[in-house]
Amino acid sequence: MRGAPEGLRPNRSPRDLIEAFLLELHKKQQEKVENNGEDMAPTGFNHQQMLHFIADVFAAGTDTTASTLKWSLIHLMKFEDEQRKIQEELDHVIGRDRMPSLEDKPNLPYTQAFLAESLRYGCAGPLGVPHGAKEDTKLRGYDIPKGTVIVANLYAVLYDPKVFPEPDKFNPSRFIDDEGRVKTSLIERAHSQFGIGRRQCVGMDMALMERFVFITNLIHRFNARAPNGPDSVTIDARGGLAFVPMPFEMQLTER
């Protein structure tokens, strides 16, 4: 790439998300110069959008990830049998001589199922984030004027009994087929927590990786217990735009 800014590596794979964005931004600027200052196909690649993009990544990787991690810890304490099943799978697949990594994920179907069910059951963001109609739209007979604020009821999606029978029951096995493999399409439905389609949360993959690494490494090394037993663990939440778990205590004992 001609005249790339100092520090960028145009002939090598980007080192991170920001460098990939900067390289694409430089490419678009170069195309504009070659076309006498005319944008052949205007895009969202500009410095202002990059700042918003970075802010979105940080937002997605902090508060929401923290809430979903808390729900996972609560579910591990509340449903001790599920915790033991995860530990048995980790011991069988990984052994006791090393810690889990992302490369192990395809071989840990029940662990994936637990994390998907925890995400669905906890539903930390029941209404997602507000969006807006860019133009007058008609959807299923309803008129949606341009500029209308649209809020998606993700809770209804994650607790739809037609998709998730007995939705009020914590049941990771719903994501496992008769041959012991994960139901990929159903897990993707649980990931609706992050939104759907082109406006899906930009931090989804990062958040899912963080949860997997954190929970598997924790449970592989420790037993998580509620000081007063599993029945004392509440799944009540402070409601609002987000379902935030109530404060809780947890005991960790080395396995």
Q: What is the DSSP string of 98-133?
A: S---GGGGGG-HHHHHHHHHHHHHH-S-TT---EE-
- 50 with 75, same domain: the answer is no
- 201 with 147, same domain: the answer is yes
Instruction: Please give the DSSP secondary-structure letter assigned to residue 166.
Output: S
**Domain housing 217:** 71-254
Q: What is the mean pLDDT of residues 202-218?
A: 88
Q: What is the mean pLDDT of residues 231-238?
A: 90
Q: 1 pLDDT exceeds 50?
A: no
Number of domains in the chain: 2
Annotation: binding site for heme: 201
- 201 with 101, same domain: the answer is yes
Query: CB 156: neighbour CB atoms within 10 A?
Result: 9
- 54 with 77, same domain: the answer is no
Q: Which tokens go with 198?
A: 């082109």
Looking at every residue in the chain, the average pLDDT score rounds to: 86
Q: 241 pLDDT exceeds 90?
A: no
- Is 1 part of any domain? no
Measured CA to CA, the distance from residue 112 to residue 48 in angstroms comes to 37
Give the three-state DSSP class for 213: helix
Give the three-state DSSP class for 151: coil
- Is 66 part of any domain? no
Which among 127-131, 173-177, 195-199 has the top mean pLDDT?
A: 173-177
**Cβ pair 246, 234 in contact under 8 A:** yes
- 100 with 21, same domain: the answer is no
- Cα Rg, the chain, nearest whole Å: 22
- 80 with 139, same domain: the answer is yes
- 178 with 239, same domain: the answer is yes
111 contacts: CB under 8 Å, gap ≥ 6: 86, 89, 90, 105, 212, 215, 216
- 141 with 234, same domain: the answer is yes
What pLDDT does residue 4 have?
53
- Is 9 part of any domain? no
- 83 with 26, same domain: the answer is no
Q: 107 pLDDT exceeds 90?
A: yes
Beta bridge partners of 142: 139
CATH of residue 163: 1.10.630.10
- Is 10 part of any domain? no
Q: 42 pLDDT exceeds 60?
A: no
Annotation: binding site: 201
